[in-house]
Every structure is written in C-alpha cells, then in structure tokens.
Chain A
C-alpha cells in the first residue's frame, strides 16, 4: 500500500469509528472539508505513528500543520524520506 493509500485508509477508518462521513479525500481538499474534526485528526496522527513509526507534527519545534489532504500526506513523505 502506498503511503497516500495508508493515510487515506486511516481517514476512512477513523471517520467510520467516529460516526462521520468522509466527504473528500482528494489532494486539493482542505482538511476542514473532509468531514473530520480535530479529535479525528488527533486519532489519525496517533494511529499513523503506530503504523509508520513517525509523527511529522511532533518532530519539529514549530510544526506547521497542513491545510490540505495533499499537504498532510506530504508531511509524512518528508518525515519518512
């Protein structure tokens, strides 16, 4: 599974567990339009850390949280490279 697919799979799984609908997951989608709330993203980041071994948002001193799905995936790609 590609990194992007792993991330989007987590979006879908967490959305379902939290009783939400994943409205968009394309690269251009702003995170605010995915249908997920901050608790969902907190859970996704924790699960991805368990799965991939990295948490790109806790690594830097002044983390810039991404605004779109594409930027979110890119943060993981950078962290793993």
Chain B
C-alpha cells in the first residue's frame, strides 16, 4: 500500500483552517529538508502541535517515512504526553509549539519545515504505525496502534465536495473522517482546539459544507446555535456516544432532506456499523452481516467486534486488545427488545443501586425526550442505604418555560418510563454541561 502522501498527491483534497486553506497537492510538492529527512527516517516521532492543521500536514509528510508517529490530542496533559513519549520510545518531536521543558531532552522539528524544504528524494515505503490516544483517556494515557490500512480498511467510496467535523483530527473519530475526506479529494473544514461551536458552524456554512459529523453532544449544542441558521446539509452523522431517539428526531426535523446516520465506532475496534433508518439502536441484521474478516456479536451483554479496521495492539501495559478469536470487547452494553438492539451505556459507567446496575445513558435518554431539554447528565450519588442513587443535571434549551414546571414534567416522564430504582433522586437545572476534549459528555468529573 502506498503512503498517504502518494495517495492524495494528484487529487483536489484541501484542508481549511480558521485563517488559511491549504491545497494539499501544492503543499505536498514540498518536503522535509535532507537533514530533517535523515532524522525522521525510521524514527518514532511525537506529533505535538497546537494547531490541528499543522498536525494534519505533518502526518501527510510523516506517513511512510517514520517507523511510528504518536498523535498528541488537544487536552492531553504533559504527564500523559511524557508517558506516551516514553512508552512509544520517541526520539524526535514534530511541533508548532514552544519546546515544553519536560520534552526538552528530545530534538524538535518545526512542523512547517516540510513546507519549505526541497522535493523528496527518498522513498516513503515504511508501514508507519499511527499511535492514538483512546477517547476515554483520563489519568494514564492508553495508546493503541493503527496503520493507514486499519484506519482506511472500511472505507466506501464517497463524494468530494466540502466536509466538516466537530471532532479534532488527532483523535480516532476525526482522524478517520480526515482520511476519508482527503482520499475522496474533498475539502475538510478542520475544527481547531478551543474554537467555539458557533464560529466553527459559521466556517462550515461559508465553506458550503454539505456533510457534517460529530458526537450527539456536539449536535445537541449545535442545534441551539444561531450559527446553524441557513446551513443546509445532505449528510449528518453521529458517533462516539449513544444516539438516542430524541436527538435523531431533532436532527430529522431540522434537516428533513438529509441522510442521517449514526455509527458505532471506537478507537480500539474501528467502525463497527452505521444505521440510517432514523431509529435509535440497531437491527439484529447488523449481527448477521459478517464476513471472514469482519464480525459483530453480543456476548455477556456487551458488543464485541472483530474487524480489519481494528487497532493492531495496545502500546505499553499488559492488557491484550482482543480475545483469542480476535474479538474486541467494546464494553458497551446492549440489550435486545422487539427486534432491535439498544445501547444501555458503558460497562464502566454503571451505577450500582443496591445491587441493581443502571446505566446513566438510559436515564438521560428519557430526560432528553422532553422537548425543552437540551442536554442532561446522570451521575452517581453516594447513599448510605443502597450504596448509590442516580441524580440528574439538566440543561434547558433557550427560551424555556419556568424550571419548576419542567421539573414536575421530568419527574412524571421518569415515573412513566423507568422502574423506581432508576429514577433520579434529584434533578438540578444548570447553565451548561462540559464536553470532554473528544466531544463527549464529560463523565470523568461527574
């Protein structure tokens, strides 16, 4: 398989940042200077950039040249980055930042030097490892190894044009869309860390994007943004969190003509499947659609995936990525009802109420059904009698009626749809809920 650079050299792919748009064919007519090339050849490289655009351009120049590149996502703290550098045995840092004192022992190469060098003389014929932080990373960094083959294994042909994604391209969800857009010859409007959703949506609209992807939390935020007015889309995609019926219905109402797809994918397992029938969960036909390389199953209540798009292995630590048959346990709990599987939540996030295990996501899905609820988060609250109870925080949409009235509505909604032990003991109204760097509802600090 040829390197990424070769594969997009002759198409019209472009990257649009807040201040500049880079036509890649033009950018790739440049290369690293010979001295830098020698330093990078077969090296393990830490890609540590503040700008998504700089990181993206570096990746294009590094694939096929280096042995391994570690993509530092925005929001990773320096302790995690140092740990990653050590585990991945990196010997060089490619960066658009000042040199962090903790990384000063490693030689640094400016990310934009590839744009000023002479055309390449050597061959990019290495099968570079792409090392990604998993999206659940809090505390110690968890690293998985992909290659260009695994990252692009399950691509179907797509249209060019202009694409947008709320994800940062240095995490799995965004990276896959970045690669898919570039290999399709599209322009990707790349979100920059810290860019407000309103500003990003304005750029998306101005660029004429017809495809936009993000987490359900991104979409819940986008749907109340004034910058969404005037934006028309052909393709709306959600992944990274459970897409509940409420968000699918709201998107359908806002984009009646668009194809609305919710996908299940993870950094470890890659893309498992996509659903486009407008309903939450997935039909059991998804489990039947297996091939020799690709298979999905449910075992012990969680979804397991064997896929050519899965990561090759974990980097560091002893935990194996998959079982002996090659299945990765996604730790996402599902249950089957009326011909359809529905996601209950993360195995790791269960709240144990006196021995009854409940998933916050299931309760949030009920609260989110209320038309005035924009976003909700359910968390565990310690209790001396049952160990824990669920309690909820709710963000109301703009121009909502008085909170006391909605509070009573929500209590009634929970009573109608949840057994007693799953009903939140308290519902608090708050101004906003934080999203993690990967665009998911921040549960680590719940």
**Contact with B384, one of A18, A39, A55 (Cβ below 8 angstroms):** A55
A58 to B381, CA, bound (A): 12
Whether B420 contacts A46 by the Cβ 8 Å rule is no
A56 to B425, CA, bound (A): 18
Whether B425 contacts A43 by the Cβ 8 Å rule is yes
Whether A38 contacts B386 by the Cβ 8 Å rule is yes
A65 to B421, CA, bound (A): 21
**Contact with B385, one of A38, A47, A50 (Cβ below 8 angstroms):** A38
A19 to B309, CA, bound (A): 51
Interface residues of B in 342-370 (CB under 8 A from A): 353-354
Q: Is B83 interfacial (CB 8 A cutoff)?
A: no
**Contact with A47, one of B382, B420, B426 (Cβ below 8 angstroms):** B426
With a cutoff of 8 Å between Cβ atoms, the chain A residues found around residue B137 in the complex are none
- Asked if A46 meets B425 with Cβ closer than 8 Å, knowing A41-B385, A63-B384, the reply is yes
Interface residues of B in 372-426 (CB under 8 A from A): 381-386, 389, 391, 411, 415, 420-421, 425-426
Chain A count of residues within 8 A CB distance of the other chain: 16
Most chain B C-beta atoms within 10 Å of own C-beta, residue among A17, A18, A46: A46
Whether B389 contacts A43 by the Cβ 8 Å rule is yes
With a cutoff of 8 Å between Cβ atoms, the chain A residues found around residue B353 in the complex are 39, 42
A50 to B425, CA, bound (A): 10
With a cutoff of 8 Å between Cβ atoms, the chain A residues found around residue B354 in the complex are 38-39, 42
Which of chain A's residues has its CB closest to B388's CB? A42
Whether A46 contacts B381 by the Cβ 8 Å rule is yes
Q: Is A45 interfacial (CB 8 A cutoff)?
A: yes
- Asked if A50 meets B383 with Cβ closer than 8 Å, knowing A18-B420, A38-B354, A43-B389, the reply is no
A28 to B116, CA, bound (A): 86
Which of chain B's residues has its CB closest to A46's CB? B425
**Contact with B421, one of A39, A45, A47 (Cβ below 8 angstroms):** A39
**Contact with A39, one of B382, B386, B411 (Cβ below 8 angstroms):** B386
- Asked if A58 meets B382 with Cβ closer than 8 Å, knowing A39-B354, A39-B421, A50-B426, the reply is yes
Which of chain B's residues has its CB closest to A55's CB? B384
A63 to B353, CA, bound (A): 19
Whether A57 contacts B385 by the Cβ 8 Å rule is yes
Q: Kindly provide the distance from the CB of B29 to the nearest chain A CB, expressed in whole angstroms.
A: 65
**7 nearest A-B residue pairs (beta carbon):** A57-B384, A42-B385, A42-B386, A46-B425, A58-B384, A42-B383, A41-B385
Known: A38-B386, A42-B385, A42-B425. 19 other contacts (CB 8 A): A17-B411, A18-B420, A39-B353, A39-B386, A42-B354, A42-B383, A42-B386, A42-B389, A43-B425, A45-B383, A46-B381, A46-B389, A46-B391, A47-B426, A50-B426, A57-B385, A58-B384, A65-B384, A65-B385
